[in-house]
């Protein structure tokens, strides 16, 4: 399961995707609308900013907004930033590989199986973007992706 933090991150990004190109949005606005603890959300948005998914502006008229168009940020990348690996075993993770106690044999069947599972999820999460969360996605996207 995704952590609460990752769920909050996705909700916040959905909110910002729906306001893309409408200028900076206050953290407090997102927190209130989505029912996310304010200070917790601050940490989350900061992580997303450090990961180059969001941009911030300080002072009056400031806030957070997407760095690129919603269709440029995959769900996979968001999850990796907040929760780390998507794979179910460390030894089959593409971005967070760590050798794994499970793989005692040289040609480990367990890891091969979970590599298959990983590819299956990534087939979805690498293709879906924040655009797929936007309310008025438009006919083209919906036919193309849904």
Q: Which does 88 bind (CB under 5 to 8 A by kind): DNA, a second copy, none?
A: a second copy
The DSSP annotation for 27-71 comes to: HHHHHHHHT--HHHHHHHHHHHHHTTSEEEE-STT-EEEESS-GG
Q: Is 23 in the site for DNA (CB under 7 A)?
A: no
- Please select the residue that binds a second copy; options are 21, 22, 35, 58, rule is CB under 8 A: 35
CA distances from 82 to 5, 48, 59, 61, 102 (A): 7, 8, 26, 27, 25
Q: How many residues bind a second copy (CB under 8 A)?
A: 34
Q: Is 117 in the site for a second copy (CB under 8 A)?
A: yes
Alpha-carbon gap, residue 14 to 58, rounded angstroms: 22
Q: Which does 57 bind (CB under 5 to 8 A by kind): DNA, a second copy, none?
A: DNA
Q: Is 60 in the site for DNA (CB under 7 A)?
A: yes
Q: Is 64 in the site for DNA (CB under 7 A)?
A: yes
- Please select the residue that binds DNA; options are 23, 32, 50, 124, rule is CB under 7 A: 50
Burial of 112 (0-12, 13-18, 19+ CB in 10 A): exposed
Q: Is 85 in the site for a second copy (CB under 8 A)?
A: yes
Q: Compute the radius of gyration of the chain from its Cα atoms.
A: 18
Q: How many CB atoms lie within 10 A of CB 93?
A: 19
> What is the nearest approach in angstroms of DNA to the Cβ of residue 60?
4
Residue ranges binding DNA (CB under 7 A): 3-5, 8, 24-28, 37-40, 42-43, 45-46, 49-50, 56-64, 83
């Amino acid at each position: 399961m995704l952590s609460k933090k990752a769920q909050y991150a996705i909700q916040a990004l959905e909110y910002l995707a729906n306001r893309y190109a409408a200028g900076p949005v206050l953290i407090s606005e997102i927190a209130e609308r989505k029912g996310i603890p304010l200070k917790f959300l601050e940490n989350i948005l900061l992580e997303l900013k450090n990961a180059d998914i969001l941009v911030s502006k300080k002072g009056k008229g400031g806030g957070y907004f997407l760095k690129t168009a919603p269709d440029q940020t995959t769900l996979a990348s968001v999850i990796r930033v907040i929760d780390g690996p998507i794979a179910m075993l460390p030894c089959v993770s593409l971005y967070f590989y760590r050798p794994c106690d499970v793989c005692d044999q040289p040609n480990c069947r367990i890891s091969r199986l979970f590599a298959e599972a990983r590819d299956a999820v990534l087939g979805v999460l690498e293709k879906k973007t924040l655009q797929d969360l936007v309310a008025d996605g438009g006919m083209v996207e919906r036919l193309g992706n849904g």
